[in-house]
Chains A and B, each alone.
Chain A
Amino acid sequence: MEMNSQITPFVKATIKILKDMLGFEISSGGVEEEKDEFLSRGFSVLVGFAGGWKGRLIIDMPGETAMKMASAMTGEPYAAPGDEEVLLSGAELGNIIGGNAITDINNSNPGLQIRLTPPSVFAGEGMTMFNARVSSSSVLINTDVGQVKVNVAVEGA
Chain B
Amino acid sequence: MRGIKGDGTAITVMAVDDSPVSRKMIKKALEPEGFQVVAEAGNGKQAVDLYASVKPDVITMDVTMPVMDGLEAASQIKAINSRQPIIMLSPMGDEDIMVEARQRGINEICSKPFKPDDIINSILKVL
Q: Write the residues of chain A forming the contact surface with B, with a CB cutoff of 8 angstroms.
A: 16-17, 20-21, 70, 73-75, 85, 88-89, 91-92, 95-100, 102-103, 106-107, 116
Give the segment of B8-16, B33-41, B87-95 that binds chain A.
B87-95
Least Cβ–Cβ distance between B120 and chain A, in angstroms: 15
Number of inter-chain CB pairs below 8 Å: 59
Residues of B within 8 A of A98 (CB): 91
- A103 touching B94 in the complex, CB below 8 Å, given contacts A20-B113, A96-B113: yes
- Where chain A touches its partner, the secondary structure class is helix
When the two chains form their complex, are residues A88 and B90 in contact, meaning their CB atoms are under 8 A apart?
no
- Return A119 CB to nearest CB of chain B, in Å: 10
Which residues of A lie under 8 Å from residue B25 when comparing CB positions?
Answer: 73-74, 92
Of residues 31 through 84 on chain B, the ones whose CB sits less than 8 Å from some CB of chain A are: 64
Which residues on A sit within 8 Å (CB–CB) of B28? 74-75
Asked whether any CB of chain A lies closer than 8 Å to the CB of B115, the reply is: yes
Query: Residues of B contacting A97 with CB < 8 Å?
Result: 91
In the complex, how many angstroms separate the beta carbon of B33 from the nearest chain A beta carbon? 15
